[in-house]
Structure 1
Amino acid sequence: MKRTLFKTGDGSYTLHIPEWDEQYHSKHGAIAEALHVFIKHGLYYWISENETDSASILEIGFGTGLNAFLTFLETEQNAFSVNYTGIEAYPLKIDEIRNLNYAALLKAGEEKFLQLHQTPWEVKSTISETFQLTKQQKLFSEIHSENCFNLIYFDAFGIRVQPELWTEAIFKKMFLALKSNGVLVTYAANGNARRAMQSVGFKVERLAGPPGKKEMLRGTKP
């Protein structure tokens, strides 16, 4: 599938899929969206609510590695550690990754960003003393984890182009993968997604969305 470089509203790049007319991140700002949805309302929320210095995170849609990179940077700057698992069925090529400007805009070392993509798949890799990464290449429907994660970054492609990723069946897998009081955050605010989350047991909140989007969703496993 063809992918082209796309400059978003905050100056950060994402990748565009012409066949779907879909981007990997918000056209209003790739970094801005990731910081708002996954770091502020995901990672920071989990840490503050649980008064802990560690978290086990599952990312649904590793993609460009932006969410993982931002999370890694947070562990470098704050006193907590993360065990991070990223699921991706169709990994990007390293040449596509090298074109992304996240490290430059975040004033961070590009070598660490590239390391996230160059570590081998299916094994746990130590990126730093506070960040461990396991990448798994498989479909989301092939996830069978139970009671393993504190936090899920649900960053699948939108319901318009891949509705099968926003069903009760998928959210049931997410619910089972979380530990008690675990949290799932997503940029989506679609009513069908919200109802699917609620139907499998999530307590769902509507929150203010990132730039260009009115709302987002956060679900908690009671």
Structure 2
Amino acid sequence: MKADVRLMITADGSHTAINQILDKTYHSVHGAYQESQRVYIELGLFAAFEMFDDQELCIFEMGFGTGLNALLTAREAERHKRRINYVAIEAYPLPSDEARLLNYDDLFGTNYLPSLHESPWNEPVDLTTYIRLTKLEEQLQNLQTSSRFHLIYYDAFAPTAQPELWEPEIFEQLANLLLPGGILTTYCSRSYVQRNMRAAGLTVEKHPGPLHKRDILRAVKR
């Protein structure tokens, strides 16, 4: 089922989408790019590059959405010449006519968006020399996989919109997807989210967030 969305420009000039059923944005209205760059690239991807040096990275993204996190990851994979196997799950993909209007390629001088959104679901596609993308059209709760990951981008809608995706059972599932030393990053730093992560055996770190966001979380599987 396709998502019911409309696009808007955030404060840093990058697009986000608004889910019209949940009345929630996919990214911060203060800047979609600056949020994704801080939460997922700086705290997640760069840390994983250092921790798992000279390995092909396996990344799992919860909430493919607009494809912004995947696009920024592809850009860094090219810059660092690092191979990445990128698996993203999305229950409600963006309609193709809306995805074509996203301005990320224009902003960043890339050409990833058509491949990101028009590639088939549920099968791997070589997006570039350095990144293989597999998009899964599925709910996280129903995911069945034997794959394990160095890094998880947890980008579900906020607990006020989808509380079921922030429960202890979800973080147990995510912890089981991580390899030893693996990292999970997310924008949500609520106290009970931290408790649920710790209960799943993750070591939780609070870090300064992007503009207008005091704290964000990075969790590590020790």
Q: TM-score range by the shorter chain?
A: over 0.9
Q: Which runs of 5+ in 2 are unaligned?
A: none
Match of 1:65 in 2: 67
How far has the Cα of 1:147 moved from its partner? 5.7
User: Which 4+ stretches in 1 moved above 6 angstroms?
Assistant: none
* Matches of 2:115 and 2:204, distance apart in 1: 35
Partners of 1:146 and 1:178 within 8 A in 2:
no
Please give the per-residue CA displacement for 1:87-124, whole angstroms capped at 9, x wherever unaligned: 00011111111111111111212xx2111111111111
Q: Which runs of 5+ in 1 are unaligned?
A: none
How far has the Cα of 1:52 moved from its partner? 2.8
How far has the Cα of 1:20 moved from its partner? 2.8
* Matches of 1:192 and 1:145, distance apart in 2: 27
Match of 2:142 in 1: 142
Q: 1:97 aligns with which of 99, 115, 121?
A: 99
Match of 1:6 in 2: 8
Please give the per-residue CA displacement for 1:58-114, whole angstroms capped at 9, x wherever unaligned: 0000011110011011111112110000000011111111111111111212xx211
Please give the per-residue CA displacement for 1:128-152, whole angstroms capped at 9, x wherever unaligned: 1111001111101012335611000
Partners of 1:171 and 1:196 within 8 A in 2:
yes
Q: Give the letter for the 1:11 counterpart.
A: G
Match of 2:108 in 1: 106
Match of 2:194 in 1: 194
Aligned runs of 1:27-176 on 2, under 5 Å?
Answer: 27-109=29-111, 112-146=112-146, 148-176=148-176
Partners of 1:144 and 1:173 within 8 A in 2:
no
Give the match's secondary structure for 1:128: coil
Match of 2:178 in 1: 178
Percent of matched pairs sharing the same residue? 38
Size of the aligned set, in residue pairs, is: 220
* Matches of 1:64 and 1:80, distance apart in 2: 23
Partners of 2:5 and 2:94 within 8 A in 1:
no
RMSD: 1.3
* Matches of 2:166 and 2:79, distance apart in 1: 34
Partners of 1:47 and 1:54 within 8 A in 2:
no
* Matches of 2:131 and 2:125, distance apart in 1: 9
TM-score normalized with structure 1 length: 0.95
Q: Give the letter for the 1:107 counterpart.
A: G
